[in-house]
Amino acid sequence: MWLKKIFKSFGNSTTKDSNAELTQVTQRPSAEESLQKLTNGLGHMLEQLDSICTNLDKHSSQNQELLEKISNLPEILKDIPEYAQKQLETFDSIKDKLEDNARTHKEMLDGFFKFNENLQELNSNSSCQNENLLRLGKSFTSSERYFKHMLDKQSKRFMWVFIISMFVSLSCVILAGWIAFKVVINQ
């Protein structure tokens, strides 16, 4: 088949090339040239055979390594069912924990809803308390005004009592001093 390709390539060349080749083909090469070409061809073929042998050796060693690894495969595969069983047990344990967590989360969610309802009730109670406190504050404000008014009155009364007391005390001291002076003078 490769020979057909070579001959076809000769047939596809231009006429000038064909004529040149025909003259080369009609002229016979010398024995030395033929021997040289044959030696070159054999050398090339030996190189090809050597590379084929090298590749075959590589493939052989790779196949040997592959066979060694494949021979260990049953030993490696025998542990897989045990590992799979352990994983199934682990997954069952995880599933149980997730179910417990889901139950706990649902309880917490229910608790939060109840807490929200309690907060809303507390908020409405706080509103009522705020209104009561505002009324009480208004009541205290009016009581505070009355208390300030009474305190002002009481302060004024206390001031008058204090002034009168000081006046009476001063009068007594002066009277006592005058009496003492008269008694000392009369003696």
Q: What is the DSSP string of 132-154?
A: HHHHHHHHHHHHHHHHHHHHHHH
* pLDDT of amino acid 27: 64
* pLDDT of amino acid 29: 66
* pLDDT of amino acid 13: 45
Q: Is 1 helix (H, G, I), strand (E, B) or coil?
A: coil
Q: Residue 151 pLDDT more than 60?
A: yes
In a domain, 136, yes or no: yes
Q: What is the pTM of this model?
A: 0.32
CA pair distance 109, 101, nearest whole angstrom: 12
Question: 87 is in which domain, residue-wise?
Answer: 83-143
The whole-number average pLDDT for the span 119-148 is 82
* pLDDT of amino acid 3: 46
The whole-number average pLDDT for the span 65-81 is 81
In a domain, 20, yes or no: no
Q: What are phi and psi of 13, to 5 degrees?
A: -75, 170
The whole-number average pLDDT for the span 63-84 is 82
Q: What are phi and psi of 32, to 5 degrees?
A: -65, -40
Contact 10, 21 (CB under 8 A): yes
In a domain, 164, yes or no: no
In a domain, 100, yes or no: yes
Q: Residue 12 pLDDT more than 80?
A: no
In a domain, 172, yes or no: no
CA pair distance 115, 122, nearest whole angstrom: 10
Q: Residue 14 pLDDT more than 60?
A: no
In a domain, 42, yes or no: no
CB atoms within 10 A of CB 139: 10
* pLDDT of amino acid 141: 82
* pLDDT of amino acid 92: 92
* pLDDT of amino acid 72: 78
CA–CA distance from 151 to each of 84, 86, 165 (Å)?
A: 92, 88, 20
Q: Tens digits of per-residue pLDDT, 84-120?
A: 889 999 999 999 999 999 999 999 899 889 988 888 8
CA pair distance 90, 95, nearest whole angstrom: 9
In a domain, 96, yes or no: yes
In a domain, 102, yes or no: yes
Residue whose tokens read 């008058």 = 160
The whole-number average pLDDT for the span 126-136 is 82
Q: What is the dihedral of CA 101, 102, 108, 109, to 10 degrees?
A: 160
Q: What is the mean pLDDT of the chain?
A: 81
Q: Tens digits of per-residue pLDDT, 170-182?
A: 999 999 988 988 8
Would you state the structure tokens that stand for residue 72, as one six-digit string?
């260990």
- Domain count of the fold of the chain: 1
CA pair distance 126, 132, nearest whole angstrom: 10
Residue type (1 letter), 157:
R
